[in-house]
Structure 1
Amino acid sequence: MPSTAADRTRLSVAVGVIRDHRGRILISRRAAHRHQGERWEFPGGKVDAGESVEAALARELDEELGIQVLDTEPLIEIAHDYADRRVRLQVRAVEWRGTPTGREGQPLRWLAPEALEPAEFPVANRPIITALQLPRHYVISRDCHDPAEWLMALDRTLAAGATMIAFRVRLDAAARRDLAREALARCRAAGASLMINGTAAEVREIGAAGLHMNAAQLAACPSRPLPADYRVAASCHSPEALRQAAACGADFAVLSPVQPTASHPDAAPLGWDRFAQWVADATLPVYALGGLRPGDAAIARARGGQGAAGISGWWGQASASSSSPSGMAGSPGI
């Protein structure tokens, strides 16, 4: 992704997300004398002058763990300011081979993504954990004109592999509540989560996974509207909105419109270059939205995004959408 002038004063760090064949992620503990010592982290290290992120990551993972990097895929980039230094973490999912060992004496652990505890990591690493726990695709529901038909479309969406659904439905309060509760039951049965486009009180009442704030809610949001055991998302249309989403404690954002869309024909699309520029300075995972299809998730990720979000390309579709959390696996012991 493009660098800003401020990046020249940042320490560039290549970070590797290493999965095993069970989907567990490798973390290591920093030595006590190092910056953020005694905390767990994702392996990696400084990118030297004139060195690519890929080359730096291959070098660091060989030095730290004794493994060979076969390929990498962009996951997220994070700019973060500590009191004593400014860093840009360039995070890659890694395809690898070998047997990881702590070659510098560092303890290692393999954990499932959902078992990663943000409080045990440096603050700059915490959006990485969120990115690992989020899917590549965020499916936004259509509005509801017939609850029975809407629920059948939800069932098709879940059967296709969707794991995170935004409930965006306009009904009277009682009908909306009943439909949301039934949707939540079906999502839970399928191992998926349900986000509510509504209010924090509604999320608590229904028992949903989290709140998706619209642009007006975000603009008026002074602080995180729900505790950490809920997800909070925000709809954004500008760099300022992305900064506001981070400031009020949102876990992830949706940035739109990336491409022309029939639902908002008068909105000027960002295009992928501008999407990448705005996401480059974001400090939370960002989905691309607007005129996209499931295959566009790879483009979004290559431009620094978490993946793709949408309605028409996903909602009610019977084909698989590869919605599981992303990451490249390795082959231990090869």
Structure 2
Amino acid sequence: MARCYSVFVPNRHPPLPQIWLITDARNDTALERSLARLPRGSGLIYRHYHLPPVERRARFDELARIARRFGHSAILSGTTRQARAWNADGAYGAAEKLAPGPATWRLVTVHSLRELARAHRARADAVMLSPVFPTRSHPGGATLGPLRFHLLAARSAVPVIALGGMTRHRARHLPTQNWAAIQAFAS
């Protein structure tokens, strides 16, 4: 059986949220409503790659303010330096982009054992392991499936966040209570 990790990252940050809303162009119009409906203490991972830089920053500031009003964390998809400059609670992305430092959470995207090893070397605070299930964003794309997810999650030295086709129901059947979604909260 795969190990289940606590969501507390000792001596670094407050507890890591269990539920994460990830932004993009598809769910932008529902984000304010979705943030209000999430359990207090959830997390927002802001991507919005489709926006020009000035508009992307303005939309981040707006959503981060709303997120914090509901007790949520606001993580920026970008470098740790950019996350600090934008007053984000952390940075999200590939291990190579996220420099170590105690001032911010570092959530690293992981799709394989090799990437998990890179995340460990980069001293990630948590990994976003994906895609667990088929997704609308990558129809027909390869997935980990529950078994492979369990095997990779068991090898992680840090908390694991499940991503890819996730719902509350699917999260209950994984070795972690931490999960993220892009469109699951929009309805």
TM-score normalised by length of structure 2: 0.86
Choose the corresponding residue for 1:250, options 102, 118, 124. Answer: 124
Choose the corresponding residue for 1:154, options 31, 39, 42. Answer: 31
Amino acid at match of 1:160: R
Q: Is residue 2:186 matched to residue 1:308? A: no
- The aligned counterpart of 2:163 is 289
In 2, Cα distance between equivalents of 1:168 and 1:238: 22
* C-alpha displacement of 1:135: 2.6
How do 1:87-106 and structure 2 match up within 5 A? none
- The aligned counterpart of 1:5 is none
In 1, Cα distance between equivalents of 2:107 and 2:116: 11
Secondary structure in 1 matching 2:168 = coil
- The aligned counterpart of 1:70 is none
Q: Is residue 2:61 matched to residue 1:190? A: no
Contact 2:164–2:181 under 8 Å retained in 1: yes
For the structure 1 residues 168 and 283, does the alpha-carbon distance in structure 2 shift closer, same or farther, using more than 3 Å as the test? same
Contact 2:165–2:181 under 8 Å retained in 1: yes
Secondary structure in 2 matching 1:118 = coil
Q: Is residue 2:9 matched to residue 1:138? A: no
* C-alpha displacement of 1:117: 5.2
In 2, Cα distance between equivalents of 1:263 and 1:117: 34
In 2, Cα distance between equivalents of 1:117 and 1:256: 25
Q: Is residue 2:91 matched to residue 1:211? A: yes
Residues 22-66 of structure 1 deviation map (CA, whole Å, 9 limit, x = unaligned): xxxxxxxxxxxxxxxxxxxxxxxxxxxxxxxxxxxxxxxxxxxxx
How do 1:214-293 and structure 2 match up within 5 A? 217-218=94-95, 220-221=96-97, 225-293=99-167
Choose the corresponding residue for 2:44, options 147, 156, 165. Answer: 165
Residues 83-141 of structure 1 deviation map (CA, whole Å, 9 limit, x = unaligned): xxxxxxxx7x9xxxxxxxxxxxxxxxxxxx7xx8538xxxxxxxxxx7x8123211111
- The aligned counterpart of 2:11 is 118
For the structure 1 residues 117 and 252, does the alpha-carbon distance in structure 2 shift closer, same or farther, using more than 3 Å as the test? closer
* C-alpha displacement of 1:189: 1.4
Contact 2:80–2:106 under 8 Å retained in 1: no
Larger radius of gyration: 1
- The aligned counterpart of 2:54 is 174
Secondary structure in 2 matching 1:232 = strand
In 1, Cα distance between equivalents of 2:104 and 2:169: 28
Amino acid at match of 2:33: R
Q: How many residues align?
A: 184
Q: CA RMSD in A?
A: 2.6
In 2, Cα distance between equivalents of 1:189 and 1:226: 28
TM-score normalised by length of structure 1: 0.50
Q: Percent identity?
A: 29
Secondary structure in 2 matching 1:133 = coil
* C-alpha displacement of 1:295: 2.1
What stretches of structure 2 of length at least 5 have no aligned partner? Answer: none
What stretches of structure 1 of length at least 5 have no aligned partner? Answer: 3-73, 77-90, 94-112, 120-129, 318-334
For the structure 1 residues 193 and 212, does the alpha-carbon distance in structure 2 shift closer, same or farther, using more than 3 Å as the test? same
Contact 1:296–1:308 under 8 Å retained in 2: no
Secondary structure in 2 matching 1:260 = coil
Amino acid at match of 2:142: A
Contact 1:167–1:195 under 8 Å retained in 2: yes
Answer 1 or 2: which has greater strand percent: 1
- The aligned counterpart of 1:56 is none
* C-alpha displacement of 1:226: 4.6
Secondary structure in 2 matching 1:299 = coil
